[in-house]
Amino acid sequence: MFSRKELKKAILTSLWFVFLTMPIMVIKVDAIERTIYWRWLNSLYMAVGVFTVYLLIRLYQHRKNSRQSQAGESGPSVGFLHRLLQNPRQRLLLFAVVGAVVVIFPHFTSTYQVNVMTTALMYVMLGLGLNIVVGLAGLLDLGFVAFYAVGAYTYALLNLHYGLGFWAVLPIGGLFAALFGIILGFPVLRLRGDYLAIVTLGFGEIIRLVLENWGEFSKGPSGISNISRPGFFGIELPLEQAILYTYYLMVLFVIITIFVVNRLQDSRLGRAWIALREDEIACQAMGIDKHKTKLAAFSLGAFWAGIVGVMFAAKTTFVNPASFTFLESAIILSIVVLGGMGSIIGVIFGALILILLPEYLRALSEYRMLAFGAILVCMMIFRPQGLFANIRRHYHYHKKDSSEHDSSGQDFPKSQPS
Amino acid sequence: MTTPILEVTGLTMDFGGIRALNAVDLEVNSGEIVALIGPNGAGKTTFFNCITGIYRPTAGDIYIFRPDHAGRLSLKGLKPNQVTERGLARTFQNIRLFPKMTVLENVMIGRHCRTKSFLFGAVLRTRANRREEEEILEMSYRMLEQVGIAQYADDNAENLPYGAQRRLEIARAMATEPLLLLLDEPAAGMNPQETIELDRLIKEISRAGQAILLIEHDMKLVMSLSDRIVVMDYGKKIAQGNPLEIRTNPAVIKAYLGEEVNA
């Protein structure tokens, strides 16, 4: 079943792990007794454990390979969910079920759970925004959180100084973030890949540092508190209902985002983004304005981040620079990569997993983040293309006799041109 | 009656101290197939890159004559996408398709500069936008049929056989409705059978009135296709004329085969 080479490699791997984990697994210092305990048995467990896991992984890969060679070259396997979404009736059913769950969810859980879910939905939206930039246009942006911060502080400051309400600032915050997207976009138009990543990383840090240090403008690290919650036709809601209201608002925003992003990626602009990602020179030679297309991606991605920023400020009623660290950018990027670049449904699942998992792993208390990390590593080993690889829509063209260009949906929510 | 389409005068391109192109003149008339030949490193692809805006030439002028525009339009200093908009479309020596997009989508990209819906059209799917999308689809599909790879429409471009990839590049360039089609070594890497089919395809495209400027090493193909041949060596134009003249031109033979030492 396993060749000798593989067994040898398994043994080597387990030895390596034993060595790596020795300081924490074997050596225990008792500071009071001033003695050191050597728990050598632990390293034995470690060795056996790693050996077994390694072989299991190999077994899985063997199976996968043999299955692939059996299936032949039938193209990428279409996942269950994609098949479900292809059939209009099943798709409708799926949407109905998801819709019902989303609507009744708050009535069966605690306020705490609703709050967590609202946060998760905010990350869905952030992920979808970044997905335009990274997944579709292929521009690696490590400072996405900057636009999120711009949106949040736009609302916080306008609310503080001018008493403007949530609904008034929502579009302003989005447009302001989009403006910042263009401001960042201009100087980096020539950059690609790693260079772009570094510049955007710097940009994200600049925004955070400005907010932290320009006390007169942003109140520095202490932040801005007492921001108004979203208004409900001028009625002040009690806390519990306000949380519920925020949740439903967020659901609505996510639906709008999905709708818009889905339409965008199947449009002339969406195709231009993907072409830009695939080959920049060919893209230009085919008559696509590189600068305009890149700026559109940057500003649109930033727009959604700005909207979520306003939402964030309204939900927590408090903003400070600590909410907009590089870690946030990294998480949003992980959502996109984990979910599957360019795939809307992937990003949704990626966000839910990445944000909800740490919450539900609380049972593991201090091993929570360790388990979280392990799950991420495993994900990337077993599904490097992300949870749901993006499947491009197939355009179908019928000859003139039917004079109808049906575009049967291969991708997630497909609204068909009637 | 032939009218000029492209006029290049004194095109010069320096890379640091190296003169890759030295005052090259060239014109292409409507309906013509002109071949640009020369040994490796003669500056043929540099010439293409200069006139399509990928490089900015050091000196010289490039003009295009558009039927909808009186007089000539300068292409010098324009960006590649603007050049394509004005009517030059090209293929690449080393195929540059969009590998993860479908074949049909690749051609649809070619329609980009002839259509204009942007953000709001895309999101709202207005009537104008839908009509435009339909036109893009129809035209792109026609292009695929014309070059004979319509059966691959829904495959990813990277999965296409080599010859079909070359054809797809031609279809994509044709989709921009160019005044002049620039082919950079379309037969490179093709087997004899594929070359014969390519010969047929290019003749077909030309018969429909398309002016073509091509770089090619396959002499059989060049001789069979071209109305006129321009020969380059060391960045200079060393000869031009019809295939017969070129075949017997001593300068060309010298460039290709070298000279006897004690001749």
pLDDT tens sequence across A226-248? 888 887 777 777 888 888 999 99
**Which of A71, A93, A126 corresponds to the end of one domain?**
A71
- Percentage of chain A with pLDDT > 70? 90
Distance from C-alpha of B45 to C-alpha of B177, rounded to nearest angstrom? 22
Domain boundaries, chain B: 1-87+179-263, 97-177
What is the pLDDT averaged over residues A54-74? 74
pLDDT score recorded for residue A406: 40
Q: Are residues A88 and A66 in the same domain?
A: no
**Is residue A64 located within the same domain as residue A143?**
no
> Does residue B91 carry a pLDDT above 90?
yes
pLDDT at B1: 57
State the residue range of the domain holding A45. 4-71
Can you give the pLDDT at residue A417? 39
Which has the higher per-residue pLDDT, A363 or A110?
Answer: A110
How many angstroms from the chain centroid is the CA of residue A261?
14
Quick: pLDDT tens for A381-418: 877 777 777 766 667 665 544 333 444 333 333 333 33
When scoring B50, B55, B78, B109 by the number of chain A Cβ atoms within 10 A, the one with the most, hence best to mutate, is B109
Q: Are residues A130 and A38 in the same domain?
A: no
Cα atoms in the Cβ-side hemisphere of radius 13 Å centred on B242: 3
Contacts of A281 in chain B (CB under 8 A): 54, 80, 92, 96
B152: closest CA of chain A, how far (Å): 12
**Edge-to-edge strand ranges of the sheet holding B59-64:** B18-29, B4-15, B59-64, B73-74
| pLDDT category of residue A303 using cuts at 50, 70 and 90 | very high
**pLDDT value at residue A402:** 37
pLDDT of B167 above 80: yes
Q: What is the pLDDT of residue A60?
A: 84
Q: What is the pLDDT of residues B94-140, one digit of tens each?
A: 999 999 888 999 999 999 888 888 888 788 888 888 888 888 988 99
- Name every chain A residue with its beta carbon within 8 A of the beta carbon of B130: 417
pLDDT the model gives residue A184: 87
Which helix (H) or strand (E) segment is A241 a member of?
Answer: helix A239-265
Q: Does B176 touch chain A (CB under 8 A)?
A: yes
**Which two three-digit tokens encode residue B174?**
């044709």
CA gap A297, B36 in Å, rounded: 39
Option in B90, B122, B172 nearest A268 (CB): B122
Query: How many contacts does A have with B, using Cβ atoms within 8 A?
Result: 133
Q: What is the mean pLDDT of residues A338-349?
A: 88
Judge if A25 and A47 occupy the same domain.
yes
Selecting from A264, A271, A272 the residue whose C-beta is nearest the C-beta of B123 gives: A264
Cβ-defined contacts of B71-78 (< 8 Å, 24+): B72/B7, B75/B51, B78/B53
B49 — contact with chain A (CB < 8 Å)? no
Burial B96-124 (b: 16+ CB within 10 A, else e): bbbebbbbbbbbbbbbbbbbebbeebbbe
Q: Are residues A253 and A299 both part of a single domain? A: yes
Q: Are residues A145 and A34 in the same domain?
A: no
Domain boundary among A19, A39, A71: A71
Report helix, strand or coil for B7.
strand
**A58 and A158 both lie in a single domain:** no
Residue A180 lies in a domain: yes
Is there a contact between A284 and B153 if contact means CB atoms under 8 Å apart? no
Same domain, A59 and A161: no
Domain for residue A403, yes or no? no
Q: What is the pLDDT of residue A342?
A: 85
Fold of B1-87+179-263: Rossmann fold (3.40.50)
Query: Does A48 reside within a domain?
Result: yes
- A177 and A310 in a common domain: yes
Q: What chain B residue is nearest to A284 in terms of C-alpha separation?
A: B81
Report yes or no: B158 at the A interface, CB cutoff 8 Å: no
Tell me the shortest Cα–Cα distance from B256 to chain A, in angstroms: 31
The count of C-alpha atoms lying within 13 angstroms of the C-alpha of A119, restricted to the half-sphere facing its C-beta, is 15
d(CA B247, CA B240): 11
- B122 inside 8 A of chain A by CB: yes
Among the partner residues B84, B108, B130, nearest to A271 by beta-carbon distance: B108
pLDDT for A394 equals 67
Asked whether residue B181 carries a pLDDT value surpassing 90, the answer given is yes
